């Protein structure tokens, strides 16, 4: 038997943090299209069930079109069972709002206790956790050791420094509970680790990256169950990937050499992807990095491009030692202060630009 484990689809996100209005609308639609493509993949590859481990949607208000498209896929594929566990972003029961009949192949969990469903060769058990039940959740879990057990939860590991807004899942407390596969949601990157001698836990990550904190391959996990043994494979599936690329420069590099250095990092990047350049290294005091030129150079090659200047200003303090100009006096004054070198360099750079009459806003 074959299943799909996905999570954190965040459908109907506005997608406006980086993109212009037209791009944001397109990406908003692409999130739902990727969900639809995933269901089609499931149909074409004999997937028996799809496990959605939370955050199917992104907020409490969901457009009717988005709800209809999600429900339509469930209704169009009665051969696939959908197991949906709400996450911390899922604040409404989308199936109960304007839906006449909940499809028989759609199954939900509650926060009132553990709920179990039998799906051919496996038992799928889940609970929506909150501040009231999270501490007793592990003790209340009772599974039959003779079954092949999949457990669904949405929350953050106690040792993972990541997103806020979800309850902490203590995986240590779930050891020895006869779990074969712990299907988790909330962490937006793929994580696959051993839970105990018997089972594993897995975050499939999000289905599509929405911001530059979600770079790399995104997709879902395919589970194959044979004779009680679960094997899994991560399937990259996002329409677009996000790339955060560090380009290190030296003080002797002009803008053309900087562009060439950036070019070397993106030769294999797909034109439909999103790219953020971070320029690091050192540059001369009077050498301003032309960020706009770098963005313009690449913006027609990719869906979206942005760039941040994280370079450090190289200050030759000796050259100002006997300089009697206002610049020299200013540099010597800052140099005498009890500040770290990076702070001194920033102050000197802004001060000299002001002295030279440049706009420092």
| Three-state helix/strand/coil letters over 1-23 | CEEEEECCCCECCCCCCCCCHHH
Give the chain's mean pLDDT.
89
Q: Which two tokens stand for residue 275?
A: 């790219």
How wide is the angle at C-alpha 266 spanned by C-alphas 275 and 29, nearest 5°? Answer: 35
Residue 152 pLDDT > 50 = yes
CB atoms within 10 A of CB 329: 13
Strand partners, 293: none
Rounded-to-integer distance, Cα 195 and Cα 175, Å: 6
What pLDDT, on the 0 to 100 scale, is given for residue 360?
47
Residue 294 in contact with residue 277, Cβ under 8 Å? yes
Confidence of residue 75 (pLDDT cuts 50, 70, 90): very high
pTM (2 d.p.): 0.86
Of the candidates 207, 217, 277, 212, the one whose C-alpha atom is nearest the C-alpha of residue 241 is 217
User: How crowded is the C-beta side of 350, counted as CA atoms within 13 Å?
Assistant: 8
Rounded-to-integer distance, Cα 165 and Cα 180, Å: 27
Residue 123 in contact with residue 150, Cβ under 8 Å? yes
Strand partners, 224: 2, 231
Mean pLDDT of 21-36: 95
Q: What is the pLDDT of residues 206-262, one digit of tens each?
A: 999 999 999 999 999 999 999 999 999 999 999 999 999 999 999 889 889 999 999
Residue 207 in contact with residue 220, Cβ under 8 Å? yes
Rounded-to-integer distance, Cα 330 and Cα 314, Å: 16
Residue 112 has φ and ψ, to the nearest 5°, of: -90, -10
Q: Is 247 left (phi over 0), alpha (psi -120 to 50) or beta?
A: beta
Residue 79 pLDDT > 80 = yes
Rounded-to-integer distance, Cα 35 and Cα 73, Å: 9
User: How crowded is the C-beta side of 295, counted as CA atoms within 13 Å?
Assistant: 13
Selected residue with higher pLDDT from 174 and 330: 174
Confidence of residue 306 (pLDDT cuts 50, 70, 90): very high
Q: What is the pLDDT of residues 321-341, one digit of tens each?
A: 677 788 778 878 888 888 887
What pLDDT, on the 0 to 100 scale, is given for residue 41?
98
Of the candidates 115, 156, 117, the one whose C-alpha atom is nearest the C-alpha of residue 134 is 156
What percentage of the chain reaches a pLDDT higher than 70? Answer: 90
Q: What is the pLDDT of residues 46-61, one digit of tens each?
A: 999 999 999 999 877 7
CB atoms within 10 A of CB 180: 21
What pLDDT, on the 0 to 100 scale, is given for residue 73?
96
Rounded-to-integer distance, Cα 209 and Cα 191, Å: 15
| Paired sense of beta strands 312-314 and 274-284, if any | parallel
Residue 109 pLDDT > 60 = yes
Confidence of residue 304 (pLDDT cuts 50, 70, 90): very high
Of the candidates 323, 315, 319, 308, the one whose C-alpha atom is nearest the C-alpha of residue 346 is 315
Strand partners, 157: 169
Confidence of residue 40 (pLDDT cuts 50, 70, 90): very high
């Amino acid at each position: 038997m074959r299943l799909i484990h996905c999570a954190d689809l965040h459908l109907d996100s506005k997608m406006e943090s980086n993109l212009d209005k037209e791009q944001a609308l397109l990406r908003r639609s692409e999130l739902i299209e990727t969900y639809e493509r995933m269901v089609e993949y499931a149909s074409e590859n004999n997937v028996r069930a799809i496990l959605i481990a939370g955050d199917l949607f992104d907020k409490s208000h969901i457009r009717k079109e988005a709800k209809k498209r999600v429900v339509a896929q469930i209704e169009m594929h009665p051969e696939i069972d959908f197991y949906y566990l709400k996450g911390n972003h899922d604040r409404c029961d989308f199936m109960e709002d304007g839906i006449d009949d909940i499809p028989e192949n759609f199954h939900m969990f509650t926060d009132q206790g553990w709920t179990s469903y039998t799906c051919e060769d496996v038992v799928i058990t889940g609970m929506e956790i909150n501040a009231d039940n999270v501490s007793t959740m592990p003790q209340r879990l009772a599974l039959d050791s003779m079954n092949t057990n999949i457990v669904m939860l949405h929350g953050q590991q106690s040792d993972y420094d990541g997103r806020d807004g979800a309850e902490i899942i203590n995986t240590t407390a779930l050891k020895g509970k006869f779990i074969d596969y712990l299907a988790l949601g909330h962490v937006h990157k793929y994580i696959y680790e051993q839970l105990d001698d018997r089972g594993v836990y897995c975050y499939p990550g999000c289905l599509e990256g929405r911001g530059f904190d979600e770079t790399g391959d995104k997709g879902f996990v395919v589970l194959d169950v044979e004779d009680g043994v679960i094997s899994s494979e991560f399937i990259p599936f996002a329409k677009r990937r996000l790339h955060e690329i560090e380009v290190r420069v030296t003080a002797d590099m002009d803008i053309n050499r900087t562009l060439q250095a950036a070019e070397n990092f993106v030769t294999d990047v797909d034109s439909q992807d999103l790219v953020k350049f971070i320029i690091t290294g050192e540059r001369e005091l009077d050498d301003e990095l032309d960020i706009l030129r770098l963005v313009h150079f690449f913006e027609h090659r990719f869906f979206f491009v942005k760039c941040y200047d994280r370079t450090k200003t190289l200050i030759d303090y000796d050259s100002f030692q006997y300089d009697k100009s206002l610049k020299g006096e200013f540099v010597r004054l800052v140099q005498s202060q009890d500040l770290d070198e990076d702070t001194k360099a920033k102050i000197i750079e802004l001060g000299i630009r002001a002295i030279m009459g440049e706009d420092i806003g």
